[in-house]
Structure 1
């Protein structure tokens, strides 16, 4: 539900613009407000879940998301819509790390955990891609407002069922230990500044003040955060967290993966509607094969990861997804859906899906229960920043190339198609490069979370130490 709303607005943007009288530049903030809030707050959300309770933070995030969705659906002005979208991004930052942290704790068997993480990753990906389908259907058949209102019954069901199925857990903290507020503020503002700068790059030159000032400020703030964390008694992010080479590499390559993934879906939607003349409904339905391919790839990846290892499956997934993008880059103005779009979509979806359970396992490699939500917050932050990077770099590359070609007298539709194809080839190169980094730099990854002496803390706050073989499971979920 949460990740669906990152993409569900894309097909409906023209209707939202007409209904609320957005300006062309203001309309981008329907997307940017969500990405900005989520990208800047995810790591903080992950640490808050570890400290104050993962179930509590997940339920809180769902409540905020439901309220924000209602605000978006009832919006009567651009400001009201942007505020609601910002609230949805905040909700993702709170709920997403907590949900992945809980899954890592509920499934203690390595094979079960790999499957569970694969399902979690797959639902995230399917939520993102199905957003186009749902948006097309609801926008054409009812109103764009229902792409937000549809979240409300889902949120109610989660709030009613989850407390019955999932027990609370949080990290054990020393007495009088406080949350590292200087580190939290510096990290959050730094990430927000970087994401804002990347988003501004979609509209302004890279050397312009609106881009450079927030990027430089963000980098300086993150550097200051490292100094603060080194001296903090109870740091927000222990610097030793980044000492694990596999975790560091998979988080870095997540930038390439999401930059290519988000720009692929964004540009192909524009190509289908602006060049091939698809309606929002047809454009939405055209994404169904990608959802099916991702689902099949997740099943394949979850099966192969315990046999071949995280390194092999992740690397092969990156390279195969890059090949799918390369196939898609062969598009032209006369491209047919079955012959020009569908083959690359299936290859891309299958290999991208296979990557997800293995990459998520790698992101949690060597993480203890104490830091499980923090690790998922770091991974999700890199994905959000990667998505912003894709919109800022790859989509901007396509649009500026097209503009230059049009100024030279090239037919606008031909120029747009060539711009999209160029950006897709760059995305393919990023995917292949990420796969090579994984193959060269990954350590040998055991799919089991290494937490043999971690403590589980209930709602009362009383902690008990459990060996991994005897740790209580969330019975209803783990047995499913």
Structure 2
């Protein structure tokens, strides 16, 4: 049987309920995204409990973000060539095990190491969940609904992480922000073999994984992200920052040369990068990553440092944003057919830009109901409605044999955008003035400007060939 034959096989057998497969993919993706933000509210308690300095505290977050972003492409291509279910199970196992080990950490080094490997597990897991959906739900209306649910849980996961971090830290202990993944991951590991068909696409493919391409891409991206994150701590001109950025560029240039020689067997076939709609969608995903994770990071600082909220109260303050994001994705999965992908991206990101600009005006202690709630909801609705057409565009023109690759690209773009945006926003905050509120305001104005650039990309996307909404 050839690879093309296996590509035509369904990822779900008729006896396996599609709704259950969708639920499993959404739950796995939700767990991965939550872990990007769940540690933010718990950081003060972690710093005290493990006697971490400022640098160590930063790396509790950065260790996960770096490996998650750097290994996403490897996880995506592995899902295409090895099998989506196999990679999903491997990612789930690694993510769950090292989350629990991180919760048992007796020192900062142990926790940072566990978070590093946990990020690799997340990088295997995240693209495999999306590639399962895009190959399992082939009818346009079913795929659109599935992508709406998946993007909704992914978008709401960032806010849910803030809420869960506050609740678990205040009511139990900071270690439970990691322990909580144990029972969830174990449940998913028990359910995936039962409800996901083992004869999914590409499990019998004889093509070998592009190891050299994977190593160069992973190391190059990791160096770039490391340099960006380090710039926020040191300076853009610091030797460590410049060295990491230059090395990242060199490795990615070598990666491009290797991929050009391998043709269609490459980790990322270069013809994929010539798909203009895919590349535009990845640009939009990067702007969403900047705004989504940057807003949650800086608003968490604002609510705790300026408004003097306890962790639990700060976490609960983000709940309306998460609900609004979920509502935006559910609404967006229906309106995208009528509005078109490009137009809906423009409307959604324009609303989110207005919401973040509104939040940036809070330079001192403010009332939550009067100055925080409404712009949080507006931003959540806008970002949520833009998620569906962005993901649909990124995966609609890609063949099933490269669904994991497309999923990995769009998720990588969002994570790279988050890392780059956070570094730039932190630099802007540091130069804004002595007050914490002024720094948060400057950072959020950067996010608003980046979202405005996303509006422009959405406009270009709307003029590029037939609209993918019907195919999503």
Q: Same fold (TM over 0.5)?
A: yes
2:295 corresponds to 1:295 = no
2:349 corresponds to 1:339 = no
Match of 1:16 among 27, 46, 50: 46
Aligned match of 2:443? 423
Distance 2:406 2:389 in 1: 15
1:171 and 1:371 in contact (8 A); partners too: no
Aligned match of 1:63? 93
2:259 corresponds to 1:254 = no
1:40 and 1:191 in contact (8 A); partners too: yes
Aligned match of 1:44? 74
2:122 corresponds to 1:100 = no
2:284 and 2:390 in contact (8 A); partners too: no
Match of 1:165 among 195, 214, 219: 195
Match of 1:313 among 344, 359, 371: 344
What TM-score comes out, normalization by structure 2 length?
0.90
Distance 1:88 1:178 in 2: 25
Distance 1:173 1:334 in 2: 59
Aligned match of 1:462? none
SS of 1:3's partner is helix
Aligned match of 1:475? none
2:348 corresponds to 1:283 = no
CA-CA distance at 1:302 after TM superposition: 0.6
- Structure 2 vs 1, CA of residues 143 and 174 (structure 1 numbering), >3 Å: closer, same or farther? closer
CA-CA distance at 1:196 after TM superposition: 0.5
1:55 and 1:166 in contact (8 A); partners too: yes
Distance 1:205 1:86 in 2: 24
1:118 and 1:360 in contact (8 A); partners too: no
Aligned match of 1:446? 468
CA-CA distance at 1:301 after TM superposition: 0.4
Match of 1:30 among 49, 60, 85: 60
Distance 2:134 2:49 in 1: 43
Aligned match of 1:374? 405
Aligned match of 2:416? 385
Aligned match of 1:235? 266
Distance 1:198 1:313 in 2: 31
Match of 2:355 among 303, 307, 324: 324
2:273 and 2:279 in contact (8 A); partners too: yes
1:259 and 1:390 in contact (8 A); partners too: yes
Distance 1:418 1:178 in 2: 53
Distance 1:179 1:90 in 2: 17
Q: Which moved more, 1:26-35 or 1:214-223?
A: 214-223
Greater Rg by CA: 1
Higher helix fraction (1 or 2): 2
Cα-to-partner distance string for 1:27-74 (whole Å, 9 max, x where unaligned) = 100000000101100001100010000011101111101111111110
1:52 and 1:170 in contact (8 A); partners too: no
Distance 1:439 1:229 in 2: 31
Cα-to-partner distance string for 1:248-285 (whole Å, 9 max, x where unaligned) = 01102222221122111111110111111111111011
Aligned match of 1:133? 163
Cα-to-partner distance string for 1:371-422 (whole Å, 9 max, x where unaligned) = 0001101111111111111221112311x124xx33xxxxxxxx22122112
Aligned match of 1:358? 389
Distance 2:136 2:205 in 1: 24
How many correspondences in the alignment?
438
2:37 and 2:162 in contact (8 A); partners too: yes
RMSD: 1.5
2:229 corresponds to 1:207 = no
Distance 2:37 2:438 in 1: 24
What are structure 1's unaligned runs of at least 5 residues?
407-414, 451-480
Matched ranges for 1:105-184 at <5 A: 105-168=135-198, 169-171=200-202, 177-184=207-214
CA-CA distance at 1:205 after TM superposition: 1.1
